[in-house]
């Protein structure tokens, strides 16, 4: 939580408390403050123009009916009432939740396992690291196009492999029972980012801990369970929250892989539903309401995660210092 203590550049002049140095110092401080504001001005402007401003506007818009053509009309809570009664929205909500609840923890788990395997001295380390990260670099439409071909019911690689094993593969993208699973499975391919952050985190775990555990006769598995996992809990927290936010913003993949919400709207993630409302039906107010409901969900999830942190996030600083 603590931000950095920023000492003034003129720290050495702290000594004599005479009148003149003090005044000189305050002028310097004021000068520095001006420079500081100048330096952070772009971020401040960006914050107001592209984050806070639109945020307020979108909140207000969610109480209006607006189609871009005529002026927005205040409709009070009508959009939110509409959402509560909208079965498609409820469906979309549950699809998004399933997607997030399965995809995020699975990605974290795979990322952690691979990071543990990659940590330490092994041959061809750099190659493995790059290879596992590669899919995350491609991402987006290219990945969706590629997987559309992999999932092809007749000629796709996945069903070919399944067929060779004697399992008849489903029509992944056109069967409403399989489309969402296909989407989730595909999302696991991009575990590289999570893995990389875990790998960075692993550099900070003191080796002595493992050595001590080894002396005590703990198995590899137990070492990781009782040292690695707790030591990386703050990294997990970061990855978890980012994963939750990202899963509400997934768009290119469902949009390309299963257009128009997929078979029987079975892959209608919130982002896709929002896109449809805003840019196909031009219901800007309704779309804003969807955005705010999904934002509220993120906030609730994040708060829940933070609330639960004392139970599982190991705070290194409090113990060592």
Token pair listed for 59: 């909140």
Site string for other proteins, 118-147 (x = CB under 8 A): x-xxxxx-x-xxxxxxxx-xxxxxx-xxxx
Residue nearer to other proteins on the CB measure, 142 or 225 = 142
Q: What DSSP assignment string belongs to 227-290?
A: IIHHHTHHHHHHHHHHHHHHHTT--HHHHHHSGGGSGGGTT--HHHHHHIIIIIS--HHHHHHH
CB of residue 34 to other proteins, shortest distance in Å: 8
Long-range contact list for 294-299, CB < 8 A, 24+ apart? 294/96, 294/248, 294/270, 297/93, 297/248, 298/244, 298/245, 298/248
Choice from 4, 70, 87, 318 touching other proteins (CB under 8 A):
4
Please report whether residue 200 would count as binding other proteins according to CB under 8 A.
yes
Cα–Cα–Cα angle for 47, 49, 52, nearest 5°? 55
By CB under 8 A, what part of segment 5-24 binds other proteins? 6, 8-9
Give the H or E element holding residue 43: helix 19-46
By CB under 8 A, what part of segment 250-289 binds other proteins? 251-252, 255-256, 270-271, 274-275, 278-279, 284, 287-288
Residue nearer to other proteins on the CB measure, 180 or 231 = 231
Residue nearer to other proteins on the CB measure, 88 or 118 = 118
Q: Which of the ranges 19-27, 86-94, 170-178, 195-203 carries the binding residues for other proteins, by CB under 8 A? A: 195-203
* Residue 294, Cβ density class (10 Å: 0-12 exposed, 13-18 middle, ≥19 buried): buried
Give the H or E element holding residue 64: strand 64-65
CB of residue 247 to other proteins, shortest distance in Å: 10
* Three-state DSSP state, 321: coil
Of the chain, the end-to-end C-alpha distance in Å amounts to 15
Please report whether residue 184 would count as binding other proteins according to CB under 8 A.
no
CB of residue 166 to other proteins, shortest distance in Å: 14
What letter would DSSP give residue 40?
A: H
Please report whether residue 300 would count as binding other proteins according to CB under 8 A.
no
Site string for other proteins, 49-88 (x = CB under 8 A): xxxxxxx-xx--x----x-x--------------------
Choice from 25, 29, 171, 185 touching other proteins (CB under 8 A):
29
CB of residue 52 to other proteins, shortest distance in Å: 8
Report yes or no: 239 and 302 within 8 Å, Cβ to Cβ.
no
CB of residue 164 to other proteins, shortest distance in Å: 7
Choice from 238, 263, 305, 314 touching other proteins (CB under 8 A):
238
Task: Count the residues of the shown chain that bind other proteins, applying the rule CB under 8 A.
Answer: 117
CB of residue 196 to other proteins, shortest distance in Å: 6
Residue nearer to other proteins on the CB measure, 76 or 164 = 164
Residues 6+ away with beta carbon under 8 Å from 256: 141, 144, 145, 148
Q: Which of the ranges 14-22, 47-55, 79-87, 169-177 carries the binding residues for other proteins, by CB under 8 A? A: 47-55
Please report whether residue 179 would count as binding other proteins according to CB under 8 A.
no
Choice from 70, 87, 317, 318 touching other proteins (CB under 8 A):
317
Residue nearer to other proteins on the CB measure, 137 or 225 = 137
Please report whether residue 205 would count as binding other proteins according to CB under 8 A.
yes
């Amino acid at each position: 939580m603590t931000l950095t203590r920023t000492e003034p550049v003129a720290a050495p002049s702290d000594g004599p408390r005479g009148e003149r140095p003090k005044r000189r110092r305050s002028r310097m401080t004021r000068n520095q403050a001006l420079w500081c504001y100048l330096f952070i001005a772009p971020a401040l402007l960006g914050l107001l123009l592209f984050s806070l401003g639109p945020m307020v506007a979108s909140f207000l818009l969610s109480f209006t009916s607006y189609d871009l053509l005529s002026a927005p009309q205040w409709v009070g809570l009508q959009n939110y009432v509409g959402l509560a009664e909208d079965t498609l929205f409820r469906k979309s909500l549950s699809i998004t939740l399933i997607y997030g609840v399965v995809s995020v923890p699975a990605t974290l788990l795979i990322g952690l396992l691979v990071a543990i395997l990659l940590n330490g001295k092994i041959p061809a380390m750099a190659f493995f690291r790059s290879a596992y990260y590669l899919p995350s670099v491609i991402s987006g439409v290219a990945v969706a196009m590629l997987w559309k071909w992999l999932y092809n019911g007749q000629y796709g690689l996945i069903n070919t492999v399944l067929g060779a094993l004697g399992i008849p593969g489903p029509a992944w993208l056109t069967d409403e029972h399989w489309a969402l699973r296909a989407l989730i499975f595909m999302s696991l391919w991009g575990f590289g980012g999570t893995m990389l952050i875990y790998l960075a985190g692993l550099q900070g775990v003191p080796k002595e801990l493992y050595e001590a555990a080894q002396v005590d006769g703990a198995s590899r598995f137990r070492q990781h369970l009782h040292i690695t996992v707790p030591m990386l809990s703050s990294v997990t927290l970061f990855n978890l929250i980012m994963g939750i936010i990202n899963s509400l913003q997934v768009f290119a993949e469902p949009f390309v892989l299963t257009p128009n919400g997929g078979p029987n709207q079975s892959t209608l993630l919130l982002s896709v539903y929002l896109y449809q409302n805003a840019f196909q039906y031009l219901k800007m107010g309704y779309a804003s309401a969807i955005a705010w409901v999904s934002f509220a969900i993120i906030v609730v999830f994040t708060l829940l995660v933070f609330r639960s942190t004392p139970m599982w996030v190991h705070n290194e600083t409090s113990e060592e210092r």
